A = this chain, B = another copy of it.
Amino acid sequence: MSAAIRVALDAMGGDHAPGEIVLGAVQAAREYGFGVYLVGPEDRIQAELARHNTQGLDLPIVHTDEFIPMDEHNPAKAARNKNTSMVRALQLVKDGEALGAVSAGNSGAMMAAASLMTLKRLKGVERAALGGILPTKDSACMVIDMGANTDCKPEYLQQFALMGSIYMERIMHLKSPRVGLLANGEEEGKGNQQVQEAHQLLKANASTLGVNFIGNVEGRDIFAGTVDVVVCDGFVGNVVLKVSEGLSEVLLGLIKAEMTKSLPNKLAALVLQSDLRNMGKRLDYAEYGGLPLLGVNGVAIISHGRSNAKAIKNALRVARQTAETGVAQAIAEGLAKLSAGEETTASI
Task: Give me the interface of A with B, judged by CB distance under 8 Å.
Answer: 136-137, 147, 150-151, 182-185, 191-193, 195, 218-224, 232-236, 238-255, 258-259, 261, 264-265, 267-272, 275-276, 278-279, 282
Contacts and interface: CB of A to CB of B under 8 A. Distances in A.
Contacts of A147: 184
A276 B183 CA distance: 32
A194 B219 CA distance: 21
Given A192-B233, A268-B271, 19 more contacts: A150-B192, A184-B234, A184-B242, A192-B235, A195-B235, A218-B238, A219-B241, A219-B246, A220-B243, A220-B246, A220-B249, A223-B246, A247-B248, A254-B282, A258-B272, A258-B278, A258-B279, A268-B269, A272-B272
Given A267-B271, A268-B272, A271-B267, A137 B258 contact: no
Oligomer copy total? 2
Contacts of A224: 246, 250
Nearest to A257: B279
A150 B259 contact: no
Nearest to A262: B275
A255 to B, nearest CB: 7
Contacts of A267: 268, 271
Contacts of A232: 239
A320 B185 CA distance: 31
A142 to B, nearest CB: 15
A248 B254 CA distance: 12
Nearest to A138: B250
Contact of A271 (B183, B195, B236, B265): B265
Contacts of A246: 218-224
A150 B243 CA distance: 19
Contacts of A183: 235
A306 to B, nearest CB: 13
Contacts of A264: 271
A258 to B, nearest CB: 4
A214 to B, nearest CB: 16
A100 to B, nearest CB: 26
Among A136, A183, A249, A250, chain B packs the most CB atoms within 10 A around the CB of: A250
